[in-house]
Chains A and B, each alone.
Chain A
């Protein structure tokens, strides 16, 4: 199996505190992976590094078949390379309609000049409709995103992520604050997405992780503590220590 993203030997510290310590991580082109770990394990910092928000002190982050280094790229460039990220809290553009939100995320030329003269073609509009139905927001297309419920915003954000057509999806706690049925829907969307691309889900909720039914990486104090199926890692004595306390 080839590798889409390879993180090796990455460390970063904030004012002496080592948030990530010699972390290595790999994921293939069509794979679902869940990352779990207690608070402060470095889950969000890991995502920050991959998306270019934080620059590590040392280590390599290689991407794709050509093994490009992501460390020298800007956030926007990394996003255009095909890394999509969903934040912990839903961040959609509340002042704009669902339709505009999705249209903005659609994979198109993103240079200012072409965006200025961009007029949506039929296929773009069709794709927006398709995504909207996929995330269950077909009836809300013309409403402002700020008016949506919390769960709807989460889906809209996932929809925007899918519209980007990324090769790697980084999803931070997608199920937070959702009802049970909403969670099931979210799981379906993610599992469906993982068939064609890599998906990394950071989640606290073990039930949700179990439902994803994928390989699990446990982070602790900035490095990988255990890796394997959920059942495998939950049997691991180190993991039990970390989660339940010594």
Chain B
């Protein structure tokens, strides 16, 4: 069965092959396991990029295939990061505290240990008690479950409310944006229990791995990210390939028609929304230990909009398009904002790319929307010599079809 699925979708095999080659190449060039041609920080950047590719796939599923322009998936990404971050921070602080208390004249009581950890973690927000949400922070297993459970549950509740009341299109986008904003504002508070705008930090240090250099830890996370991306891609390809894919693309193009075929559109949307939220959570849980710090600013609505930008530039409605978009834009963005691009003298003024990159990104996004709605992925169609189908009527973008038809109908 699997075999036939892969046979029917050769692009999946090609993608997995390229990903394996890339992973191998980075492994051979890294400081820890290879020739040391690329620095540890660059390995981390690449690992983070793979996580961004994973969430881009989730975004493509929910937007490119199902037509829900969610501006909230980075909230799920952030929540995943927070969940794993809680364990990392708690466990590492516990080890440090226990090590320091071990030298005390009399052994500490559990209460003293817990108080000391609390003071270490929550001192910055003027507290020392553990909030209720940290109840399971000492258990890696439970926090790992929460990495998918918390985003999944939030998506379930929000999606159920939103889809049930038939909020669609731009309204839904604004609503998801509001959800993200509400979550970010909530986390910004000091008494949210997650250290307010300080966020969680020191996540790059694995508890119990003090002797292991960062170069090794970074390659581990790189491998894990590559594996997660491969599995996520396979899952997404499986979901969109069969009749399910047919139904969700139908929902994207004409929701009402799918409903009259007897499919409960809300259930399908909810399924996709929840599963992509979980994928986003996993991507976030892999991303933030590589970034080292997570704070509420990461969850701000703008991040989710960038996510949509990546997918649009890469090409909606095709999984490899999302990966290309996310990888390309985030790497180029790192390059530009890192100040490595030479300034551009214009005579009267000098363009400093650190300042002007956002302008360039914003405008290029307008250009892509106007002139290349298929994004970079559209180039592959040209290479293949596949012409876009000659349709009767105007060219229909993925989300435009339904509206055009409805307009014409009424």
Q: Residues on B close to A: CB < 8 A?
A: 1, 239, 242-244, 246-247, 249-250, 253-254, 256-257, 259-265, 267-268, 271, 389-392, 396, 398, 401, 405, 408-409
Q: Which of A71-79, A215-223, A230-238 contacts B (4 or more CB under 8 A)?
A: A71-79
> Does A125 interact with chain B (Cβ within 8 Å)?
no
Classify chain A: how many residues form its interface, as a range.
35 or more
Neighbouring B residues of A111 by C-beta, 8 Å: 264, 267
- Contact, CB under 8 Å: B396 / A118: no
Please encode chain A, from 118 to 132, with 1 for each CB lying within 8 Å of some chain B CB and 0 for all others.
111000000000000
Neighbouring B residues of A88 by C-beta, 8 Å: 409
Please encode chain A, from 129 to 167, with 1 for each CB lying within 8 Å of some chain B CB and 0 for all others.
000000000000000101111100000000010001000
A104 and B246 contact, Cβ closer than 8 Å, known pairs A94-B396, A164-B262: yes
Additional pairs, 5, CB under 8 Å, beyond known A74-B259, A87-B409, A103-B246:
A53-B256, A74-B264, A77-B262, A112-B271, A116-B271
Q: How far is the CB of A142 from chain B (nearest CB, A)?
A: 12
Q: How far is the CB of A17 from chain B (nearest CB, A)?
A: 16
Q: Which of A80, A91, A116 contacts B257 (CB 8 A)?
A: A91
Q: Which of A80, A84, A94, A112 contacts B253 (CB 8 A)?
A: A94
Q: How far is the CB of A122 from chain B (nearest CB, A)?
A: 15
Among B243, B271, B391, B396, find the residue whose CB has the most chain A CB atoms closer than 10 A: B243
Interface SS, B side? helix
Q: Can you pick out 7 interface pairs between chain A and chain B where the beta carbons lie within 8 Å of each other?
A: A53-B256, A75-B259, A89-B409, A93-B257, A104-B246, A115-B242, A146-B392
Neighbouring A residues of B247 by C-beta, 8 Å: 104, 115
Please measure, in the bound complex, the distance between the C-alpha atom of A105 and the C-alpha atom of B260, giving whole angstroms: 10
Q: How far is the CB of A159 from chain B (nearest CB, A)?
A: 12
- Contact, CB under 8 Å: A95 / B249: yes
- Contact, CB under 8 Å: A79 / B250: no
Q: How far is the CB of B263 from chain A (nearest CB, A)?
A: 5
Please measure, in the bound complex, the distance between the C-alpha atom of A53 and the C-alpha atom of B405, giving whole angstroms: 17
- Contact, CB under 8 Å: B392 / A116: no
> Does A51 interact with chain B (Cβ within 8 Å)?
yes
- Contact, CB under 8 Å: B261 / A95: no
> Does A110 interact with chain B (Cβ within 8 Å)?
yes
Neighbouring A residues of B267 by C-beta, 8 Å: 111-112
Q: How far is the CB of B260 from chain A (nearest CB, A)?
A: 5
- Contact, CB under 8 Å: B396 / A146: yes
Neighbouring A residues of B239 by C-beta, 8 Å: 116
Neighbouring A residues of B261 by C-beta, 8 Å: 79, 104-105, 160, 164
> Does A85 interact with chain B (Cβ within 8 Å)?
yes
Please measure, in the bound complex, the distance between the C-alpha atom of A181 and the C-alpha atom of B224, giving whole angstroms: 63
Q: How far is the CB of A133 from chain B (nearest CB, A)?
A: 21
Please measure, in the bound complex, the distance between the C-alpha atom of A149 and the C-alpha atom of B391, giving whole angstroms: 9
Neighbouring A residues of B244 by C-beta, 8 Å: 112, 115-116, 118
A93 and B405 contact, Cβ closer than 8 Å, known pairs A110-B263, A146-B392: no
- Contact, CB under 8 Å: A118 / B392: no
Neighbouring A residues of B408 by C-beta, 8 Å: 89
Neighbouring B residues of A227 by C-beta, 8 Å: none
- Contact, CB under 8 Å: B242 / A116: yes
> Does A100 interact with chain B (Cβ within 8 Å)?
yes
Chain A minimum-CB-distance residue to B238: A116
A110 and B264 contact, Cβ closer than 8 Å, known pairs A96-B250, A118-B243: yes
- Contact, CB under 8 Å: A147 / B396: no
Instruction: Tell me the A44-73 residues at the B interface (CB within 8 Å).
Output: 51, 53
Please measure, in the bound complex, the distance between the C-alpha atom of A77 and the C-alpha atom of B242, giving whole angstroms: 23
- Contact, CB under 8 Å: A76 / B259: yes
- Contact, CB under 8 Å: A118 / B242: yes
Among A119, A146, A147, find the residue whose CB has the most chain B CB atoms closer than 10 A: A146
Please measure, in the bound complex, the distance between the C-alpha atom of A22 and the C-alpha atom of B194, giving whole angstroms: 60
Q: How far is the CB of B29 from chain A (nearest CB, A)?
A: 39
Please measure, in the bound complex, the distance between the C-alpha atom of A111 and the C-alpha atom of B257, giving whole angstroms: 17
Please measure, in the bound complex, the distance between the C-alpha atom of A237 and the C-alpha atom of B254, giving whole angstroms: 42
Q: Which of A75, A94, A149 contacts B401 (CB 8 A)?
A: A94
Please measure, in the bound complex, the distance between the C-alpha atom of A94 and the C-alpha atom of B249, giving whole angstroms: 10
Please measure, in the bound complex, the distance between the C-alpha atom of A110 and the C-alpha atom of B244, giving whole angstroms: 10
Please measure, in the bound complex, the distance between the C-alpha atom of A88 and the C-alpha atom of B256, giving whole angstroms: 14
Q: How far is the CB of B155 from chain A (nearest CB, A)?
A: 15
Please measure, in the bound complex, the distance between the C-alpha atom of A105 and the C-alpha atom of B256, giving whole angstroms: 14
Please measure, in the bound complex, the distance between the C-alpha atom of A91 and the C-alpha atom of B389, giving whole angstroms: 17
Q: How far is the CB of A38 from chain B (nearest CB, A)?
A: 18
- Contact, CB under 8 Å: B405 / A89: yes
Please measure, in the bound complex, the distance between the C-alpha atom of A112 and the C-alpha atom of B391, giving whole angstroms: 30
- Contact, CB under 8 Å: B257 / A79: no
Neighbouring B residues of A75 by C-beta, 8 Å: 256, 259-260
Neighbouring A residues of B396 by C-beta, 8 Å: 94-95, 146
Please measure, in the bound complex, the distance between the C-alpha atom of A223 and the C-alpha atom of B116, giving whole angstroms: 79
Please measure, in the bound complex, the distance between the C-alpha atom of A203 and the C-alpha atom of B398, giving whole angstroms: 32
Please measure, in the bound complex, the distance between the C-alpha atom of A104 and the C-alpha atom of B261, giving whole angstroms: 8
Neighbouring A residues of B249 by C-beta, 8 Å: 93, 95-96
- Contact, CB under 8 Å: A79 / B246: no
- Contact, CB under 8 Å: A112 / B262: no
Chain B minimum-CB-distance residue to A82: B262
- Contact, CB under 8 Å: B263 / A95: no
Among A74, A94, A120, find the residue whose CB has the most chain B CB atoms closer than 10 A: A94
Chain B minimum-CB-distance residue to A90: B405
